[in-house]
């Protein structure tokens, strides 16, 4: 049995990124770019790396293929100090991977292989390894067909019954099945982390306040909506909204900013900080990751994060509504 502050369950992906990409050359043409990177990614794996860099004891739970990408991902996470005893390997499926051509403004289309993430199930959750765990994080709802819906609800309910704080991050696909994957889980979630665009889409509205109410009415204890350069908004049942502006940074790549935000916010929960302090940590982590290429850029350790928070100005503009 190992001692963990956080168990992070869900998507484990290898990202291959290149920047800046302004076009895909036709045929077998070539374009020179400035930088290519290969990184640990995914709403469970990248969040685990961020947590480990912030000094949090974390165990990552996910499914890999029996291939070179899976071996890379496991070794990289071990090198970062993430517990990997519950990363399972599966024959006949590849490790999940994404190719990301990063545009000059930091945005990125994605070419994605679902792979082994599709075989992750509730039976993979290491209940015997969670005696000291404070937070159970589920990352990747809507892209975990073996876990989405009622299986995720059972996992989260059991975690809360065992006294854990539960957090959830999601990646909607735009299909009607997204709500089937998400809604059963929300009554058992203390904090859910949708992006602004995803919150609007799932709620079927163009109003941020209505989107927040959608998650709260569906049962979530608290919804934390990330809004990119416009900061973040936290809303909870029976309480008002808390909004904080983003840090003012030059954006290189937005890949993994949401995962880093979750890592910062969860770090605050582990430390027993206020929700406002957790929100600040999340914003700082997400902003730092935006300054480099890939999910592991910028964020190095807690001391550097503190220096960044003390020295970096904030953006004045916040999204209204």
Domains annotated on the chain, with CATH: 6-21+36-311 (3.40.1190.20)
Per-residue pLDDT tens listing for the chain (321 residues): 468 999 999 999 999 999 999 988 899 999 999 999 999 999 999 999 999 999 999 999 999 999 999 999 999 999 999 999 999 999 999 999 999 998 998 888 888 898 999 999 999 999 988 989 999 999 999 999 999 999 999 999 999 999 999 999 999 999 989 999 999 999 999 999 999 999 999 999 999 999 999 999 999 999 999 998 899 999 998 888 899 999 999 988 888 899 999 999 999 999 999 999 999 999 999 999 998 888 888 899 999 999 999 999 998 754 434
Percentages (nearest 5) of helix, strand, coil residues in the chain: 35, 20, 40
* pLDDT in the model for residue 2: 63
- The b/e string for 278-289 (b: 16+ C-beta within 10 A; e otherwise) is bbbbbbbbbbbb
Q: Give the DSSP H or E segment for 155.
A: helix 150-161
* pLDDT in the model for residue 47: 97
Q: Give the DSSP H or E segment for 280.
A: helix 275-289
Convert the pLDDT of each residue in 78-123 to its tens digit.
999 999 999 999 999 999 999 999 899 888 888 889 899 999 999 9
Rounded distance between C-alpha atoms, residue 223 and residue 235, angstroms: 5
pTM confidence score: 0.93
CA dist list (Å): 206 to 49, 72, 118, 171: 34, 41, 31, 19
């Amino acid at each position: 049995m190992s001692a963990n502050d956080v168990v992070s369950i869900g998507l484990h992906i290898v990202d291959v990124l290149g920047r800046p990409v302004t076009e895909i050359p036709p045929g077998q043409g070539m374009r020179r770019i400035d930088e290519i990177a290969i990184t640990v990614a995914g709403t469970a794996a990248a969040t685990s790396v961020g947590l480990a860099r912030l000094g949090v004891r974390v165990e990552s739970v996910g499914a890999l293929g029996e291939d070179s990408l899976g071996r890379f991902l496991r070794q990289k996470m071990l090198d970062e100090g993430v517990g990997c005893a519950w990363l399972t390997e599966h024959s006949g499926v590849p490790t999940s991977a994404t190719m990301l051509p990063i545009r000059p403004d930091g945005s990125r289309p994605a070419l994605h292989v679902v792979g082994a993430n599709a075989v992750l199930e509730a039976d993979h959750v290491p209940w015997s390894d969670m005696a000291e765990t404070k937070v159970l994080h589920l990352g990747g709802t809507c892209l975990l067909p073996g876990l989405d819906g009622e299986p995720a609800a059972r996992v989260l309910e059991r975690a809360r019954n065992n006294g854990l704080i539960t957090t959830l991050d999601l990646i909607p696909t735009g299909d009607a099945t997204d709500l089937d994957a998400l809604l059963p889980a929300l009554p058992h979630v203390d904090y859910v982390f949708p992006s602004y665009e995803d919150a609007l889409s799932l709620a079927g509205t163009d109003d941020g306040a209505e989107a927040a109410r959608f998650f709260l009415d569906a049962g979530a204890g608290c919804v934390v909506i990330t809004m990119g350069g416009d900061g973040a908004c936290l809303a909870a049942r029976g309480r008002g909204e808390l909004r904080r502006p983003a840090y003012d940074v030059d954006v290189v790549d937005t890949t993994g900013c949401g995962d880093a935000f979750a890592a910062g916010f969860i770090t605050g929960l582990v430390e027993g900080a206020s929700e406002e302090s957790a929100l600040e940590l999340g914003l700082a982590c997400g902003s730092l990751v935006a300054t480099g290429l890939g999910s592991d850029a910028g964020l190095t350790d807690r001391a550097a994060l503190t220096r960044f928070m003390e020295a970096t100005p904030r953006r004045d503009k916040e999204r209204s509504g």
